[in-house]
């Protein structure tokens, strides 16, 4: 049997790291070395939800009657979120799979990838149910070129690892190849920047609109997506980052610093674009959104121990985001609306003793 399919000669079960060990053999729970990653996998498995849990049909009226300003902001945001979650769903496991050595990491990345599928299907369901002609809006969304430009930096990193990943899977590259090592860890850390910074900044205009009472089902669904991102995907990224080999970190650090700065710049540019047509939102303007971007970037600068050229806000400039990002503070009565929070509550009970380090 080809060793990439099943490696019966594998000898590093008890010593292998997360990535780039000998080719995979048995998936085993005997040699577990990453208990926190296992916990993340189990927690997300229990949090599994479905894109059809929410009835988005009420949103059709809101899209028809809201101001052009709100309409534009909602569509611009949906475009980016839908596209980026599609990329996440198609890249997380497919790209990382050839490199993953540990069973815990394989299980966790599989579950996260499944979760990204739920996210992107949710955006698709929002569009399918909210418009009389979803095909037209589909085209409208794909025509927003700024949303792909916002991912320009990220797409360069993903293109590199896409090629390296396939070459590695075909046996054309080895684990000792520094380009392979750097591509894996640059992908992991860049994805963390997307999830911790770009997604968190994209949620702010959505929640600002939903704060006014509009698009309630979208608010609830996106709130679940935000919770998955912040409490699970970001925590996974931070946990995995703890295991980056020192030599690889020294090599990729300057490039990652430039990537983070570029991502911050992309977000600041997007904040300008979002309000470019004089569009207005209650509770968020261009300045506050930029401050929110920098406030989220602060967590990454701290994690990577990078100096920032920006003045990073000490306090959260968008207080209302705390309510939306902490689901327990926004419990609706179950009779009133689709309540996406029941699963979280059952997960919480199971999570006693687990500390998730969300930095705000």
Nearer to Fe ion, 24 or 206 (CB): 206
From 15-23, 114-122, 151-159, 304-312, span contacting Fe ion (CB under 5 A): 114-122
Nearest approach, Cβ of residue 334 and Fe ion (Å):
26
Cβ atoms 13, 25 nearer than 8 A: yes
Spatial distance between the Cα atoms of 27 and 45, rounded to a whole number of angstroms: 18
Cβ atoms 113, 92 nearer than 8 A: yes
Spatial distance between the Cα atoms of 126 and 54, rounded to a whole number of angstroms: 9
Residues between 80 and 99 with contacts to Fe ion, criterion CB under 5 A = 85, 88
Nearer to Fe ion, 49 or 168 (CB): 49
Nearest approach, Cβ of residue 84 and Fe ion (Å):
8
Closest CA to 239 of 64, 112, 51: 112
Nearest approach, Cβ of residue 126 and Fe ion (Å):
14
Spatial distance between the Cα atoms of 200 and 219, rounded to a whole number of angstroms: 14
| Residue labelled with tokens 């080719």 | 23
From 78-86, 235-243, 311-319, 336-344, span contacting Fe ion (CB under 5 A): 78-86
Q: Which class for 196: exposed (0-12), middle (13-18), buried (19 or more C-beta within 10 A)?
A: buried
Nearest approach, Cβ of residue 29 and Fe ion (Å):
25
From 166-174, 233-241, 305-313, 334-342, span contacting Fe ion (CB under 5 A): 233-241
Nearer to Fe ion, 39 or 224 (CB): 224
Closest CA to 277 of 60, 59, 75: 75
Nearer to Fe ion, 117 or 149 (CB): 117
Q: How many residues does the chain have?
A: 360
Nearer to Fe ion, 21 or 237 (CB): 237
Nearer to Fe ion, 62 or 267 (CB): 267
Nearer to Fe ion, 100 or 288 (CB): 100
The three state secondary structure string of 199-211 is HHHHHHHHHHHHH
Nearest approach, Cβ of residue 115 and Fe ion (Å):
7
Give per-residue burial for 15-41: e unless 16+ CB within 10 Å, then b: ebebbbbbbbbeeeeeeebbebbbbbb
Q: Is 233 in the site for Fe ion (CB under 5 A)?
A: yes
φ/ψ (deg, to 5) at 19: -130, 160
Nearest approach, Cβ of residue 114 and Fe ion (Å):
11
Nearest approach, Cβ of residue 195 and Fe ion (Å):
5
Cβ atoms 322, 360 nearer than 8 A: yes
DSSP three-state, residue 48? coil
Nearer to Fe ion, 40 or 66 (CB): 40
Nearest approach, Cβ of residue 108 and Fe ion (Å):
12
Residues between 172 and 201 with contacts to Fe ion, criterion CB under 5 A = 195
From 45-53, 207-215, 224-232, 277-285, span contacting Fe ion (CB under 5 A): 224-232
Binding footprint of Fe ion on the chain (CB under 5 A):
85, 88, 116, 119, 195, 229, 233
């Amino acid at each position: 049997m080809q060793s990439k399919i099943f490696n019966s000669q594998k000898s590093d079960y008890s010593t292998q790291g997360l990535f780039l060990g000998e080719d995979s053999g048995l998936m085993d729970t005997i040699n577990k070395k990453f208990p926190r990653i296992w916990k993340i996998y189990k927690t997300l498995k229990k949090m599994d939800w479905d894109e059809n849990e929410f009835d988005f049909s009420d949103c059709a009226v809101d899209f028809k009657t809201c101001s052009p300003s709100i309409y534009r902001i909602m569509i611009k945001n949906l475009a980016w979120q839908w596209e980026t979650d599609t990329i996440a769903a198609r890249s997380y496991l497919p790209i990382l799979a050839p490199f993953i050595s540990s069973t815990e990491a394989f299980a966790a990345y599989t579950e996260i990838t499944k979760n990204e599928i739920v996210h992107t299907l949710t955006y698709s369901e929002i569009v399918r149910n909210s418009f009389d002609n979803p095909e037209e809006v589909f085209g409208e969304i794909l025509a927003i070129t700024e949303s792909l430009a916002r991912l320009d930096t990220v797409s360069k990193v993903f293109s590199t690892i896409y090629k390296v990943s396939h070459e590695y899977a075909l046996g054309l590259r080895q684990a000792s190849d520094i380009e392979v090592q750097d591509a894996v860890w640059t992908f992991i850390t860049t994805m963390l920047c997307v999830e911790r910074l770009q997604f968190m900044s994209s949620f702010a205009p959505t929640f600002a609109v939903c704060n006014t009472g509009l698009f309630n089902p979208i608010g609830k669904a996106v709130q679940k997506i935000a919770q998955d991102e912040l409490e699970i995907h970001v925590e996974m990224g931070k946990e995995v980052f703890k295991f980056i080999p020192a030599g690889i970190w020294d090599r990729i650090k300057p490039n990652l610093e430039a990537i983070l700065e570029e991502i911050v710049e992309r977000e600041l540019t997007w904040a300008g674009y979002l309000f470019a047509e004089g569009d207005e939102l209650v509770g968020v303007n261009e300045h506050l959104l930029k401050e929110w971007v920098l406030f989220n970037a602060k967590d990454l600068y701290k994690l990577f121990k990078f100096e920032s050229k920006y003045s990073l806000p000490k306090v959260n400039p968008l207080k209302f985001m705390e309510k939306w990002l902490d689901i327990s503070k926004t419990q609706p009565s179950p009779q009133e609306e689709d309540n996406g929070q029941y699963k979280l509550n059952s997960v919480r009970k199971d999570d006693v003793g687990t500390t998730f380090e969300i930095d705000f």
